[in-house]
Amino acid sequence: MKNLLSKAKRQAFVTAFLLCSCSQLMWAQSAVEDSTRQYAYEIPSVDERRAEFRRSLIAPAAFFVAGGIAFTDNPIWSDDAWEDARNRNFPDFRTTADDYLAFAPIVAAYGLELAGVKGAHSLRDRSAILFKAELIAVAIVTPLKLGTNRVRPNGDNDESFPSGHTAQAFISATFLHREYGHLSPWYSIGGYAVAGSVGVLRILNNKHYLSDVLFGAGIGLLATNLAYLTHGYKRTKRIEGLTIMPTYNEGTVGVFAGLRF
């Protein structure tokens, strides 16, 4: 348990470090640009919120169902089948790349902001959303690890279920998708490809079973979607500038105001 809590603290520290570092690098630039470029949001109706909530459950539910099937005894999609395949084909596989790839989409999202590519939310809003997603994930993953006490395939400890690395990777990928997926599908494809590779590497490293990884992915998706859903507003259009000038027409004095989107 002590080891698990230290891992949770380390994950929170890494995420906080990334948030603080990226925020400090971009805050000055963002402050200047935000003086002329603001974000406009609309509050969704109750029906819209319900519909979005239902949509946000689809992908996580699919992963949970797939993870449940992996618990069963079948020759293709089961923990035993994948573990046997791993031991036969990659018995000596070892890498630490998954420790870093789990955060790569987050770094990419803030890197795009630094490069001037604006996402769906302001720097402050997206950072708050990401922090909330991390808290939700930790609140789900940690009790499950403590409650299930599932021994890892390599026997290191009893913290196998679910995969925290995979949950983190899918938080990162969903964060990138929600911020930049509307600009190009390749942002989403790239982010989720990296997240999927983290799950595969956790299995190849003999750290997790297939079901651990699938449930971790679902938790990461669910946590991030809930963080966005509960943030309170959606992106509409970004206001580029406001023009105000006096007008005079046939003896009538007025004011013209124009917004550029």
Total domains in the fold of the chain: 1
Distant-in-sequence, close-in-space partners of 108: CB < 8 Å, separation ≥ 6: 176, 187, 190, 191
Nearest partner of 72 among 62, 81, 85, 60, judged by Cα:
81
Measured distance CA(161)–CA(173) in Å, rounded: 21
**Which positions ≥6 away from 21 have C-beta within 8 Å?**
none
69, two tokens: 């099937």
Tokens of 94: 């070892």
Strand partners, 242: 259
What is the rounded CA–CA span in Å between residue 195 and residue 205? 15
The residue range of the domain holding 97 is 2-260
Task: Give pLDDT tens digits along the chain (261 positions).
Answer: 555 555 554 555 555 555 554 444 444 444 444 444 455 556 667 788 788 889 999 999 999 999 999 999 999 999 999 999 999 999 999 999 999 999 999 999 999 999 999 999 999 999 999 999 999 999 999 999 999 999 999 999 999 999 999 999 999 999 999 999 999 999 999 999 999 999 999 999 999 999 999 999 999 999 999 999 998 654 444 444 444 455 555 555 454 445 454
